[in-house]
Amino acid sequence: MAKPKDQNTMESRFMTVSEVAASLRVSTMTVYRLINSGLLPAARIGRSFRVRTEDLEHYVTAHLTAAG
């Protein structure tokens, strides 16, 4: 049975700290610093963090700078 479209569902994709670091081409320590400073929202699952792809995209978009 298909779920109704108006029902709230968890369709977010979560990324590990390593995946975020690889996509930004920075170290994992840099990602941990962003998370701990509150600049990059993350969910703590056990002893590790997970970042929603939407939150990563929002962070990157908010920190774009114009060249020149």
The reply to whether 8 falls in a domain is no
Residue 19 three-state SS? helix
> What is the tens place of the pLDDT at every residue in 12-68?
899 999 999 999 999 999 999 999 999 999 999 999 999 999 999 999 999 998 766
pTM, rounded to two decimals: 0.79
DSSP labels for 21-66? HHHHTS-HHHHHHHHHHTSS--EEETTEEEEEHHHHHHHHHHT---
The reply to whether 7 falls in a domain is no
What's the pLDDT score for residue 6? 47
Domain, as residue range, for 44: 14-62
Count of domains observed in the chain: 1
